[in-house]
Structure 1
Amino acid sequence: MANAQIQVTFLRNKFGRQTIAYNGYIYCVKNNRGERTYWRCTIPDCPATLSTRNNIPTGNGCYPYNHPQDHAKITALEIMENIRTRCVEEGKPIPRIYEEMVTKLRTHVSNNDTLSTVQHLPTFQSSKTLLYNARRTQTPQLPKTIQDINLEGMWTETTAGEEFLLLDDGDRIIAFATSSDLINLCNADTLFCDGTFYTCMTQFHQIYTIHAQIGNQMYPLV
């Protein structure tokens, strides 16, 4: 049955490989021939197939499915795709993004379909490689030496676009603060300073922070 209007959703499995969902079933790539891609059902003993041309479905194979639809698994894959997208677009810690999405889903467990979706979600441990690899596509590799550190453009600004790089001398003493941080620093009655070695990058010797109390809160300013 050829029908260019068939709607499919392109997703990734927990290994990062592309799959498509159609009518409650999930397919993985079988082979490619030019503009055409042939897909097979992800259930190993199911003979069902699907074909696409330039990502547009052109029809199903002649073999029937030998298992029921699995909408809950498809929803779980869609949620993981949403998590992966957030890991690329946001700067939040990846474990926090995962936990936010899973917690939101669990708080709405009100029927068997939602519960089944939760059960299909992969654990963070089994999916963290995929999520961290997704983030690495948008961020530079961590520098191995001090000379490899190149601070320019967005890496000298806050997420709100404020200038953040205060100092970068030839010996690689690097300081960060916004203009409002410096104003608060000058207006503070008491400064609190702290030096830490444990959380410092291996290329550096120490992280030193200057804090001040603003209202009832303590803030790191430099």
Structure 2
Amino acid sequence: MNQEICELVKSAQGKPKINVHGYLLVKDKNNGNRYYWCCEFRKKYNCNGRAITDLENENHILVSFKEHSHSPEANRIEVVKTLNIIKESASHTHDRPVQLIQDAVVNMHQSSHSYMPNKQALGKQISRIRNKNLPPQPQELEDIEVPIELSRTINGESFLAKEVEFGEEKMMIFCTIPNLQYLQDAEYWLMDGTFKTVPLLFQQMYTIHAPVGGENARVLPLVYVLMTGRSKVCYNQLFQELFRLGEAASVTLNPSFIITDFEQAAIHAAQDEFTSCLHKGCFFHFCQNLWRKIQASGLAIEYGSDEEFSIKLRYLTALAFLPSSDIPNAFDQIKPLMPSSAEAVVQYFEDYYIHGTVRRVFRNGTEN
């Protein structure tokens, strides 16, 4: 007589269920190796479906099965198994939620996809699972303790390079020695801050990117810094600490040029510390700044619907591709062509980029 082995499936709470003929049953009780199961929808559908199994060599062998009062749901079983895969991966990998979900559902039958929770709900589940494995958010700077597993890379290298406190400020620098070596080899660095993915006690996460890989180089983030402040003093301290880390690793950090956004504190600090380095403003942030001014001036709809209007305003950002010495004269030539409704935008551009703050910052001939 052939024995029927029941597939074991975990519930959302990690408790065992068995799959019998397309039905999921939850454990009621056991007496030694004999297990008694009841329908997972016993209360919802008032279902009296039951099963008895014997545990042999870690397999549940079906002994008896009592029919259910509702039809089986084959799709549901596949969904439960897929959700278990997602939860397991969320606990043991650092993959992005969208990638984790995609990898889990790729082998599902097409008809089962509609039974899955939406991606937003799955993303929240993944976040909850991962947050359970993390320590609580500290309320004071002195309470911060980085767990060992977060202070090292997956290869076991030291990742939390330095914690620095100065005055009222604190920064935590995350970097590896190989990453410092990549910075040493790079001709240029790109530096920027983000505010969306920062623990409560910090103002920003500042990152330094550089090309890695020679001829087939990709620009990768190599240094991550949690910072409580954004003053020039903070940036000066950051760059000085990087130099110290480089010296300790016998690495010289001296890029040919640095690209940043137009944050004045970071620009001035970089010029203080990297005295032989050319500094360049990021074209993306340059365009973003102009677009914000267009929006603030109430011209976003006209910019999006009037092609001639938008082209003329794009003349302004195109000035960035000229030699710096030619920019003032070129601006004077295109200024009369600007739409009269954009006078506030043009005046802002002239005051800030042609004759004003940014122009003064880069007047040493290192601008672009």
TM-score between the two structures when normalised by the length of structure 1: 0.74
- Counterpart among 121, 143, 146 of residue 141 in structure 2: 146
Identical-pair percentage = 24
Cα distance between partner residues in 2 of 1:199 and 1:156: 18
Displacement of 1:167 after TM fit? 0.7
Matched position secondary structure for 1:8: strand
1:164 match: 159
User: Which runs of no fewer than 5 residues in structure 2 stay unpaired?
Assistant: 224-368
Would you say 1:7 and 2:11 are equivalent positions?
no
Q: How does 1:71-220 map to 2 (within 5 A)?
A: 71-102=74-105, 104-105=106-107, 114-128=109-123, 130-170=125-165, 172-214=170-212, 215=214, 216-220=217-221
Cα distance between partner residues in 2 of 1:118 and 1:157: 38
Displacement of 1:4 after TM fit? 8.6
Partners of 1:195 and 1:208 within 8 A in 2 = yes
Cα distance between partner residues in 2 of 1:130 and 1:189: 42
Cα distance between partner residues in 1 of 2:71 and 2:204: 59
The letter of the residue matching 1:97 is L
Matched position secondary structure for 1:140: coil
Cα distance between partner residues in 1 of 2:133 and 2:154: 15
1:41 match: 39
Partners of 1:9 and 1:22 within 8 A in 2 = no
Higher-Rg structure is 2
Partners of 2:22 and 2:73 within 8 A in 1 = yes
TM-score between the two structures when normalised by the length of structure 2: 0.48
Matched position secondary structure for 1:84: helix
1:221 match: 222
Which stretch of structure 1 is more off in the superposition, 208-217 or 150-159?
A: 208-217
RMSD: 3.3
Matched position secondary structure for 2:10: strand
How many residues align structurally? 209
Partners of 1:87 and 1:135 within 8 A in 2 = yes
User: Which runs of no fewer than 5 residues in structure 1 stay unpaired?
Assistant: 107-113
